[in-house]
Amino acid sequence: MIVDDPTAHRSRWHWRTLDNAAGGLALDLGLYAVSAAFAAITAVTSTLLPHRAWGAVAAVGYLLATLTVIAQLLLRRRSPTSRLTGLPARWAVTGLAWATTTLLPLAWQSIDRAGGRTDRAQEEVLVVEQAGSRLLEHGTPYLGPDAIAALPPGEQLMGYTPYQPGMAMFGLPRALLDTWWTDSRVWFAVGTALALALAVAALRRTPATTGEATTGQATTAATHRRDAALLRGVQAATVLPICALTLATGGDDLPVLALCLLAVAFAAAERPGRAGLAVGLAGALKLFAWPVALVLIVWGLTRRAGTRVAVGAIGLPIAALLPALLVDRDALTENVLRFPLGHGLVTSPAQSPFPGYLIATALPAGRLIAAGLLVAAGVAIAVRLARRPPRTAVATALICGYGLLAAIALMPSTRFGYLLYPLALLTWAPALHRPGETPTAAVADEGSGRTTSG
| Residue pLDDT, tens place only, 338-350 | 888 778 888 777 6
Angle CA(91)–CA(95)–CA(99) in degrees, nearest 5? 170
Amino acid at 221: A
In this prediction, residue 339 carries a pLDDT of 87
* Model confidence pLDDT, tens digit, residues 351-390: 778 888 888 888 888 878 888 888 999 999 999 999 999 9
pTM: 0.92
- The CA distances from residue 181 to 172, 185, 314, in Å, are 12, 9, 32
Concatenated DSSP letters of 376-440: HHHHHHHHHHHHS---SHHHHHHHHHHHHHHHHHH-SS--GGGGHHHHHHHHHGGGGPPTT--HH
Average pLDDT over the chain, rounded to an integer? 89
In this prediction, residue 437 carries a pLDDT of 58
Q: Are 175 and 132 in contact (CB under 8 A)?
A: yes
In this prediction, residue 441 carries a pLDDT of 44
Higher-scoring residue by pLDDT: 416, 280 = 280
284, burial (CB in 10 Å: exposed 0-12, middle 13-18, buried 19+): buried
N-to-C CA span, the chain: 13
pLDDT band with cut points at 50, 70 and 90 for residue 444:
very low
* Model confidence pLDDT, tens digit, residues 146-177: 999 999 988 999 999 999 999 999 999 999 99
Q: Which DSSP state fits 209? A: S
Concatenated DSSP letters of 212-274: SS--HHHHHHHHHHHHHHHHHHHHHHHTSHHHHHHHHHT-THHHHHHHHHHHHHHHHTT-HHH
pLDDT band with cut points at 50, 70 and 90 for residue 12:
low
Q: Are 56 and 38 in contact (CB under 8 A)?
A: no
User: Count of CB atoms within 10 A of residue 79's CB?
Assistant: 10
What distance in Å separates the CA atoms of residue 385 and residue 425, rounded to the nearest whole number?
18
- The CA distances from residue 330 to 124, 148, 159, in Å, are 22, 12, 14
In this prediction, residue 451 carries a pLDDT of 40
* Model confidence pLDDT, tens digit, residues 287-324: 999 999 999 999 999 999 999 999 999 999 999 999 99
Mean pLDDT on 72-99: 93
Domain boundaries, the chain: 17-119
**H/E segment holding residue 333:** helix 329-333
Sign of CA dihedral 243, 244, 249, 255: positive
Q: Are 250 and 186 in contact (CB under 8 A)?
A: no
Q: Are 352 and 415 in contact (CB under 8 A)?
A: yes
Closest Cα to residue 106, out of 246, 305, 224, 12?
A: 246
Higher-scoring residue by pLDDT: 314, 415 = 314
Is the per-residue pLDDT at 210 higher than 70?
A: no
